[in-house]
Amino acid sequence: MRKRLLLAFGATLIIGALFFWLVDLDKVVEILRVADWRYLAAGVAALLCGYLLMAVRWRFLLGNRPGFLPAFHATNLGNLVNSLTPIPEVAVRIFLTGREAGMTIPGTTSGMVVERSLEQIMRVTALLIALLTGYVISFSTGSVLLNVGLVLGIFVFITLLLRRADRVIAWGRIHLARLPWIDQPRADHILTDLMEGLNFAGNPKQVTSGWLLSLGTWGFFFLFAYLALMGLNVSHSVEKLVAIALLTLAVAPPSSPGMPGLYQATIVGALSLVAGFNPVQMTAFAITFHILQVIPLLFLGAWGLLRSNLSFKGVVQKSQSVIVEQEAALGD
């Protein structure tokens, strides 16, 4: 586990170093120097609204078991940790939510399965619309139908899984029993909690409401990206700016942040190498897009740490144990 995190951290440093070595930082600095901070400030306000809805969605999928503030702090700390370390934000959220609400890791993971599925739906939709530059308005109906279809697909999959719960538990019991650190009662407990959580989070009302909350969340994230482009005076048509914002969300949404260097390289690679936009402008945008996320997260994360009486190091260490237990539950 630790070896894999160190390898991920090392790879991120190498990619980040290459990224900043290859770009023309002088031109990037010049673009940042003349930025309109009014647009950027408005973008940060939209970002914070998106974070609020993320917390509401997370709490809703878990049956409102954690209070709003614990869910909000768990969301912000997860994003902050993932912005500074290779630890996935989902592991941080599962640990903090379980700690505050008294929920087990498998039970909390079930809500995360549904939420991550909804996030992938939004990514796919954003990517498809971005690739159809110039057809954004006419494709809006198709994008809604796509979302509905994918949501129904998730619901059908979870329904089939729950209808065969006995078989799933029996199959999982056999595989978990092969792990030396998990005995039979523990294996039964893990699988039962996971299926009970899916039974709640995966019902039609929860999935549909989660999808609507996802639309609102990503609406604010899109506004954040669009205002960041406006603040950097990126000179393109409205359709092109919409496409850039959507493509950015498809590859690097604020709901799944990454470490400095790798995060910017992902955005610039998608926007410049794939979509063909100006690499200097897109580099300035990628740097600004990430900084505008990290700065408020530092304050929100500090608030969360003070409230939870934990240190940043302690959150990272506990989240690593969540990853280990999730791997055990999956039989990895």
Helices (H), 177-329: 184-201, 204-231, 238-251, 262-268, 279-308, 312-329
Q: What was the pLDDT predicted at 323?
A: 65
Is the separation of the CB atoms in 329 and 190 below 8 Å? Answer: yes
Helices (H), 85-139: 89-101, 105-131
Q: Assess if residue 7 is contained within a domain.
A: no
| Helix, coil or strand: residue 232 | coil
For residue 159, the one-letter residue type is: T
Q: What was the pLDDT predicted at 202?
A: 52
For residue 5, the one-letter residue type is: L
Phi then psi dihedrals of residue 23, to 5 deg: -85, 155
Q: Assess if residue 63 is contained within a domain.
A: yes
What's the domain count of the chain? 1
Q: Assess if residue 171 is contained within a domain.
A: yes
Q: Assess if residue 21 is contained within a domain.
A: no
Q: Assess if residue 148 is contained within a domain.
A: yes
Residue with tokens 């539950």: 329
What is d(CA 111, CA 109) in angstroms, rounded to the nearest whole number? Answer: 5
Q: What b/e string do you get for 94-108 counting C-beta neighbours within 10 Å, with b at 16 or more? A: bbbbbbbbebbbbbb
Q: What was the pLDDT predicted at 174?
A: 53
Is the separation of the CB atoms in 245 and 222 below 8 Å? Answer: yes
Comparing CA positions, the residue from 167, 172, 162 lying closest to residue 196 is 162
Q: Assess if residue 168 is contained within a domain.
A: yes
The DSSP-derived string for 43-95 is HHHHHHHHHHHHHHHHHHHTTT-S-HHHHHHHHHHHHHHHHHSSS-HHHHHHH
What is d(CA 297, CA 300) in angstroms, rounded to the nearest whole number? Answer: 5
Q: What was the pLDDT predicted at 224?
A: 97
Q: Assess if residue 167 is contained within a domain.
A: yes
Q: Assess if residue 41 is contained within a domain.
A: yes
Q: What was the pLDDT predicted at 135?
A: 40
Q: What is the mean pLDDT of each run of 10 residues along the chain (332 residues)?
A: 54 56 65 85 96 92 84 91 82 84 72 80 80 49 55 60 57 52 52 53 69 92 95 85 90 82 81 79 86 91 89 83 57 46
Q: What was the pLDDT predicted at 181?
A: 44
Handedness of CA 251, 253, 259, 260 (dihedral sign): positive
Task: Name the residue range of residue 33's domain.
Answer: 26-81+89-329
